Amino acid sequence: MSMIPVVNRRPGTGWKVLQFPVTRALLAVASIVAFIVLLQGATRALRIPPQSGLGRFLALVLIAGACLMYTASVRLIERRAVVELALRDGPLAFGKGFLVGAALFSATILVLWAMGVYTVTGVHGADALAAPLIGALVAAFFEELVFRGVLFRIVEESLGSWLALGVSALAFGFLHAFNPGATWVSTLAIALEAGVLLAAVYMYSRRLWTCIGLHCAWNFAEGGVFGASVSGGKAGGPTSSPAGSSGRKPRWWPCSSAWPRASLSCSSPAAGATSCVPSGGGADGRGAVRLIGAAWPREARISPAARRDPRLPRPGREAELPEALVRVSRCRGGRRRDTRPGRRPRGPGAS
């Protein structure tokens, strides 16, 4: 069962201000952005080429530093374990997300190829994969930490899952509105396909590693494998980009820089994946495939009222509460009971 992170509230006016949702979001984003800006500024001041060995090493340092900034803000301000970014299940969750992301974008390219838009004009070897992979990792870690780890999670605590999904998706699309060649159609497409999909994946798994893996594979397959333009940037990789010299660009193509992710051909696979997030959420993975309204388990959805009393968690959240608080579990009759030592259960179904 997916565990939902819970802020360990501390008494006092100072802690109330520090643990206020807006304050936590601003401090977390500011720490991540400040570290990235300082490291990139130092790299440019020293004139270190990004494609060099040292430049790629510093890119990995940037990823590690951003994760440390996020971890520090959670541990110091929210006073809890960073379960959503735990290293214990990181490789497996990242691998699952990576496979799903690669499959989704491969389906997009298949649609474009069938329509005569995508064509391969040449292959340049495996050496062309290193730079797109590093760039995809940096973008995936930064955007997932900010939009799913900070924005979605904190908004969800106050306003509920549905509003958090809409806010994070719109903010994610708005960020890409400033990319070269962006239009309102491409912005809306990215918000609906990537913003909603990644938020839905986080709601189901409650692990940032899965979202990071999916996001990384999407960008890497787009620019590194299929040679397409990533967010309006310069196309690269070992193969040609869509809508090239030998490709046919249809009228409905929404972006002058020909991003596949901003096309209608990309929205269909992403929407299909969003609607096919498995329900049930248990370790056995059982549950029917449902539409997005029921795509994640009930335990993964949060209503604003569920945060009012931290002593009364829903089933599945007891393990993340301090031991001093009252532990509540579900009895056979479907009601909650007090499991403190010396207290006799009450109500029907109590044993």
81 and 195 share one domain: yes
310 and 339 share one domain: no
DSSP assignments along 92-138, one per residue: HHHHHHHHHHHHHHHHHHHHHHHTT---------GGGGHHHHHHHHH
φ/ψ bin of 280: left (φ > 0), alpha (ψ from -120 to 50), beta (otherwise)? left
Q: What is the pLDDT of residue 324?
A: 39
Average of pLDDT values for 223-250? 57
**Contact call for residues 129 and 238 (beta carbons, < 8 A):** yes
Q: What is the pLDDT of residue 165?
A: 92
Reported as a single tens digit per residue, the pLDDT across 76-124 is 999 999 999 999 889 999 999 999 999 998 888 888 788 777 777 766 6
Residue 58 has pLDDT above 90, yes or no: yes
Average of pLDDT values for 43-71? 93
Domain count, the chain: 2
DSSP assignments along 197-230, one per residue: HHHHHHHHH--HHHHHHHHHHHHIIIIIIS---S
339 and 309 share one domain: no
**Global confidence as pTM:** 0.73
Q: Which of 26-30, 76-80, 140-144, 273-277 bottoms out in mean pLDDT, i.e. has the lowest?
A: 273-277
177 and 304 share one domain: yes
Tokens of 73: 């803000």
- Contacts of residue 288, Cβ cutoff 8 Å, sequence gap at least 6: 279
Q: What is the pLDDT of residue 177?
A: 84
Reported as a single tens digit per residue, the pLDDT across 121-144 is 766 666 678 888 999 999 999 999
Q: What span, in angstroms and rounded, lies between the C-alpha atoms of 230 and 12?
A: 47
187 and 226 share one domain: yes
Structural domain that includes position 328: 321-351
